[in-house]
Structure 1
Amino acid sequence: MKKLEQLRNPKKWTPLQEVLEVYEKRGPADRKQRVNFLASIYEQSTGKEKKQMVWEDLTRDLFLDWAELRQEAGRKGWLGAGAGKNMPEDGWQKLRALKAAGELPALDDVTVAPWNTTILTYLTSAKSIFGEKSRAKVLRGLEVPDLEEWRGITLTLPCPKGHKSIEENIDERIEKALPKLKTENPRVWLFFMLCDETGMRPVSVRRLAKASLQVLTPAEAAEVRKKMAQEWRVKESELCDFGGLIKVQAAKHGAEVLTPVSAEVVSVAQEVMTEGSLIGAKHVTESRELHTELNAWLRMRGVTGTHAAYLLRHRKGQMMRRFGGKAAVGATLGHKGEAMADRYSIENRVVPAVGIGGRKKREAA
């Protein structure tokens, strides 16, 4: 009876584009990213622009078509180098042509693949825009259809589990090659060291500006070190020497942190940095190119995986866990949680100086 009534007296829904505009203004902190995920699903599946999307497009088939396209892109190696930088200009067009010709493999729910993680992340984010919580809080007052089919999509895909580690023999190759890298390409060396010493996400390194670095005098460093030892209840001798602090902005609902870096890193940063970039990138595109260069350099040393530089963050996290448990990991990587809250106030997150200044310091940690 309800469906019959809806056919007789169809409800006038608020246009989808208007709903998305409201969501981008009133939604959670990552609202634009969620809308971008939805737009990518639509644009890559259909070849149309986001502004053409209407309520009728939000179907199970739309998402499954995109998931199949995404998996094939991954198998072709088009999703590497970060954010699909290996994707040919007509890559999605070629994939849609394969789909139209019936030549695209069916969704693979057996093979473990890193792009499956992305597929499930996009699904969760795209569905959340129109979820119950969003309707009651963000989209309140708008006429939004039930979207039962879209919101009811469930998918189980095998994803890589746990944090991948850089093998010891690969780590040794990296250490031997670092002096040459520092001489030949100091900006890529600096990118590596910032990831390695701080555990920052590579994308966070790309966003660092000159103002992100606080250079410390020996007296200032000694004062910070003393306070650090007291707060972490360790001897000062257990902490590494450092020459500066870097302010890392909060990311992914995490917390802002202040993290120490070695005097060597400070020295090279002072040589290459510009006002807008700590790693000396002239513009956003060049910062991405430096990131790509670092990934390529790491792969030449034997590091595997789509996001090679990100594994340095994993390594730092494991090191900090050995040093001070979950609280130390939270402080270093900017994670929020009870362990972190118990140890530090929001205004006073200074990362313990562990695992910086060279291989011996890391091994000691």
Structure 2
Amino acid sequence: MNFDDYRGIWIYIEVKDGQIAPVSLELLGAGRMLADKRKTELAGVLIGSGVKTLAPILFQYGADVVYVYDDPIFEHYRTEPYMRALLDCCHKHKPEVILYGATPSGKDLASAIATDLPTGLTADTTILDIEEDTGLLLASRPAFGGNIMATILCKKYRPQMATVRPKVMKSLPPDPSRTGRVIEEHIELHEEEMRTKVLQIVRETAKKVRIDEADIVVAGGKGMGSKEGFQLIHQLAEVLGGAVGASRDVVEAGWIDHHHQVGQTGVTVTPKIYFAIGISGAIQHVVGMQNSELIIAINKDPNAPIFQSCHYGIVGDAFEIVPLLIERLKEEIPKIKAAADVKEEIRHA
């Protein structure tokens, strides 16, 4: 392949219910860094129905160009029409790099594109960089069960592609003064040619734990000893008004549901406060919480790797420390709330 024909960093912009997915804005932040190193343009690829009006938002978050495929056939995500649109754009404009959110639709589309082009695809990337001179994308992710970090390279093919977990990258502060070029694209697609049809959208009403949206996450590991011992994690989370997280070992032991799992094979979280209690701190877990604003670890093993990733560490028995912490918080939290209420009353006055 003639690599000189391929230029630009692209972000696949995922749209759900008329809104840009947060992971796409996060990837624009990462893409801006890559594009600046390569001295090239950052583009967003926007596919959907009635989505052209979203383009100015992408400029605010770092894009220079937005390629738009706006047609009723793209109203709901389906692999075939979205794949054909993105392939059409790739063949016309030849990007050097394409990044996707590691969401169900992002992973589905990326794998379909990689199969058809063909090119490589690095899944669940947690660190991105690019060689300034060669344009070689350095996509790093935990491997071998989270025991090592591997950097995956695609040396022979373009575009280079990777999916990136939500909450791993940081979006840029929006700049309303930024503008860019909107390039409207069109591909001839007919509904009767599509092999899948969307007959009905069923909204799930069951309330699931959304630890990825919580300001406080209290996570426990195998150091809690048993399912009964793990109840201490629930108690601390309840007092703090936070969500319960867990390591992979805890989930596999059946102490708690998979929706609570933090880490490479679970959920990535970025709370204001993250408690890691009885968690050893394997890479597989750390990559899912390392961007938390404040990390507090409690572990009786002074050599536990988690102490290399936390801001504050307490060496001791969780079954002695956590009950004391719960007791003290029960005393202090009402006082803090009362003080906050007084400040709010003064502010309004």
| Bigger helix fraction | 1
Q: TM-score range by the shorter chain?
A: under 0.3
The TM-score with structure 2 as length reference comes to 0.21
The TM-score with structure 1 as length reference comes to 0.20
Higher relative contact order (CA 8 A, sep 6+): 1
| Bigger strand fraction | 2
